[in-house]
Structure 1
Amino acid sequence: MLLAFGALVVGGGLAGCSAPSGARAGGSAPVAAASEGPAVRTASPATVSVRGGTQVEVRGSGLAEVTAVRIDDVDVPVSSASADRVVFTAPGSPDFVDRSVAASLRAGATAVGTATLRFGAVDGTDRQLQYLLRYWKDYNPDYQPLGSTDCVDFTSQSLLERGWEQQGLWTHADSVAQSGGAWISSTMFRDFMHAHPELGTALTDDERAEVKLGDVVQFDWDGTGDRDHTGVVTRITTEGGRTRIGFAGHTTDSDYRDVDDAITKDHPGGRAFYWSLA
């Protein structure tokens, strides 16, 4: 299904009737027929990712002057515009929620057309992020929590939503303490990932610019070489040329906990590591 766009005709008027040939001076002057103004006909895809990054293509006429698409009062620049085609990259949805919002194609200060932009989960990573934001504080009653050390258990739950299949030491038991070691231990999860490179690639904190939403972050609080905490990346921003990362997790229940705060204020001298998931 294509996005529902409402076309707006710009600059049109009623066409008049020209005077007959040879009309006397002082008669009505000819009025030219109004030309067709900009209009939007179709757009695709029907649903854009809640985490952002979906390329949207709008088709219509008179679109060459479009410079931005206004969504939530923010102007999103277009990557290309021609007479019959506009392309832009949709932003994410706050807290990764499914929703429909009005979008306006803008040519300067003029609205060329309006749209209903539909955000939804288009893949496993979107479903994972939605799960994290739903249950970071109000725990999923379908899972028994692992007391005050539930961080890897919660991460593992989200990876099931992403589409991972249980295997080896990464398995869940209804009595959570009986789950496989990689499901409930940060260090054993690290070892499991090293044994399964098809699932993800290890990154250091110096490589955080390569981290993606939905990747796993782990911490060594005390420099002993093991892993003391695990979470999932839910926010990536750039400030002053530096990448900042927020993550969701249990134990210290959080939705967008800042990595830099975790390794400086909360655990001075701590180190962060990442798994860039396939």
Structure 2
Amino acid sequence: MQVLAPLLPSAYAAAAIAGLLAANALITPPDRAPRAVAATAPPVVAALEPTQGALVGGETVTITGSGLTAVTSVEIDGVAADLDRVVNGSITLRVPNAADYEAGTVEVEVFAGDAAVASDLEWTYVTTTAVDRQLEYAFRHWDDYNTAYFGNFNEWGGDCMNFVSQTLVARGWVPQAEWFNDAQQEWADPFVHVPSFDEWLAEHPEYGAVRLDYSERDRAKVGDVIVFDWDGDGSLDHSQVISRISDDAGIEMVGHNVNSTYRSVDEAFDQQGTDSTQVYIWSIA
């Protein structure tokens, strides 16, 4: 009779493992195909509603489609719109102002990250409101002075107030005996002189203008008139029209003297301000 040598502990372990492997080899595993991962459908843009609005923007519009949660930004004529709500089937956004306050039809571009989403959407800017007419005029003449009708007061100390008054005429304000400019042949001081305008407007509440301190600037809006007292001596020196208000740049202005369309208040402070500068806003109803 053959006598088997006793297994050492390590040999016991090796034998047990070998047995398990042999047993498992006899068992046929069930079919376990890799679980398919559903591909994310690319965003599809279908429609925009409404499709037109004022030059000053601000309308709430909706883009419909599918897979729209992948959308990260929307631009109207190259200007980013504020996205209020993005869900699978729709995007709600607010339209920015027309870049140069010009009426016309522009492209609406939708992006998922850096990739443009195929779309043929368009938005039409229409001159519809009094403020539209004011800013349309301002952007047409910020560097192309309308001298035939209003002259140019830069050689007389500055054309800033003359230009602001012109935009208010375009807005619908009717010239009167105390506020007019007849092609620089005859004029009333409040039309062309900032301190005189400030005093005159304070005496005429029928224009619906309220004078705000700069600390109340959260009440300002496009089309309001902003005035500066650079050295804080109580005599106003400069005026412009608010052309845009944004989180990034704050209040921006269109005006003469420093001919510009989107000059920020911060930039004006850097260029002309002092520690004593005071700023006020005529908020117009």
**Taking structure 2 as the reference length, what is the TM-score of the superposition?**
0.69
Distance 1:106 1:257 in 2: 29
State the match for 1:96 in structure 2: 101
Find the aligned partners of 1:61 and 1:255 in 2 and give their Cα distance: 36
Matched, 1:181 2:189: yes
Contact 2:48 2:61 in 1 (8 A): no
Note the alpha carbon deviations across 1:251-273, whole angstroms, 9 max, x for none: 33332333233334323232211
* Cα displacement (A) at 1:160: 1.0
Matched, 1:272 2:276: no
**Aligned match of 1:133 in 136, 139, 161?**
139
Describe the shift of the 1:88–1:225 C-alpha distance in structure 2 as closer, same or farther (beyond 3 A). Answer: same
Aligned to 2:261: 255
Distance 1:86 1:223, change over 3 A: closer
Q: Tell me the residue number matched to 2:250.
A: 244
* CA RMSD, Structure 1 to Structure 2 (Å): 3.1
Distance 1:199 1:167, change over 3 A: farther
Comparing 72-81 with 223-232, greater Cα deviation is found at 72-81
**Gapped runs of 5+ residues in structure 2?**
1-42
Q: Deviations over 1:18-46 (max 9, x none)?
A: xxxxxxxxxxxxxxxxxxx97746622x4
Q: Decide whether the 8 Å contact of 2:230 with 2:272 is kept in 1.
A: no
- C-alpha offsets along residues 137-187 of structure 1, whole Å, 9 cap, x if unaligned? 22114321224322111111111111112235122223x262122111111
The structure whose residues are more often helix, as a share, is 2
Name which of 164, 167, 170 aligns with 1:158: 167
Q: What stretches of structure 1 move > 3 A for 4+ residues in a row?
A: 37-42, 60-69, 72-87, 104-114
Please give the alpha-carbon distance, in whole angstroms, between the structure 2 residues aligned to 1:246 and 1:74.
Answer: 16
Q: State the Cα deviation string for residues 221-277 of structure 1 (Å, max 9, x = none).
A: 2222121111111232334xxx63222222333323332333343232322111111
Contact 2:107 2:123 (C-alpha < 8 Å) held by counterparts: yes
Contact 1:68–1:77 under 8 Å retained in 2: no
Q: 1:66: how far off?
A: 8.0
- Identity fraction in percent: 28
Q: Which residue pairs with 2:37 in the alignment?
A: none
| Aligned counterparts of 1:51 and 1:146: Cα–Cα separation in 2 | 29
Deviations 1:163-212 (A, max 9, x none): 112235122223x2621221111111111221123421111111222211
Residues 206-225 of structure 1 aligned to structure 2 (within 5 Å): 206-225=215-234
Aligned to 1:202: 211
8 A contact 2:80–2:96 mirrored in 1: no
Structure 2 CA distance for partners of 1:201 and 1:231, relative to 1, 3 Å? same
Kindly tell me: are residues 67 and 196 of structure 1, through their superposed partners in 2, closer, same or farther at Cα, counting changes over 3 Å? farther
Q: Distance in 1 between matches of 2:45 and 2:108?
A: 14
> Equivalent residues in 2 for 1:17-166 (5 A)?
40=46, 43-44=49-50, 46-57=51-62, 70-71=74-75, 72=77, 76=81, 78-80=83-85, 87-104=92-109, 111=117, 114-143=120-149, 144-148=151-155, 149-166=158-175
Shift of 1:81: 6.7
- Aligned partners of 1:257, 1:106: CA distance in 2, in Å? 29
Return the alpha-carbon distance in structure 2 between the equivalents of residues 207 and 54 of structure 1. 24
CA contact (8 A) 1:49 1:126 kept: yes
Q: 1:177 to 1:191 in 2, by over 3 A?
A: farther
Gaps of 5+ in 1: 1-36
